[in-house]
Amino acid sequence: MFLAKVVGTVWSTKKTPDLEGVKFLIVHPYDLDKEPTRNIVVVADRLGAGTGEMVMCAYGKAARTAIGNQDMSIEAAVVGIVDRVDISDTVSDEMREAARRLAQENGRP
């Protein structure tokens, strides 16, 4: 999973039938410093998140499970709308760098 800020909405009038009725958002993932990364991700949303909100998102099977259909043509989805995030100020620079490397190695923003 990853945290992200909703920065926009995607509108598509022509799409595969399994995507009918699904709202799509553009999200900007956060790094460990609570700063947006340079990447954006399009995610499916059935929770009703809005622009400016922080959300938890999932990839792959977890995303399809959250939407309720394992056969759906999606790769990422909103799985929660965040109320608050607490990160210890004692997280070391080494830990932050290791987390960034791990995310990159796994193809995540």
CATH code of the domain containing 56: 2.40.50.220
* Mean pLDDT value across the chain: 84
Contact 11, 54 (CB under 8 A): no
DSSP conformational letter for 30: B
User: What range defines the domain where residue 41 resides?
Assistant: 2-105
- The answer, as to whether pTM is greater than 0.85, is no
Give me the helices (H) in the chain, please. Answer: 60-67, 93-105
Residue whose C-alpha is closest to residue 23's, from 66, 70, 78: 78
Distance (Å, whole) CA 45 – CA 19: 11
pLDDT digits (tens, 9 = 90+) for 39-70: 899 999 999 999 999 999 999 999 999 888 88
C-alpha 106/C-alpha 109 separation (Å) is: 9
Between 59 and 108, residue with greater pLDDT: 59
Domain count for the chain, please give it: 1
Q: What is the DSSP letter of 34?
A: S
Q: Where are the beta strands (DSSP E) in the chain?
A: 2-10, 23-29, 41-45, 54-59, 76-81
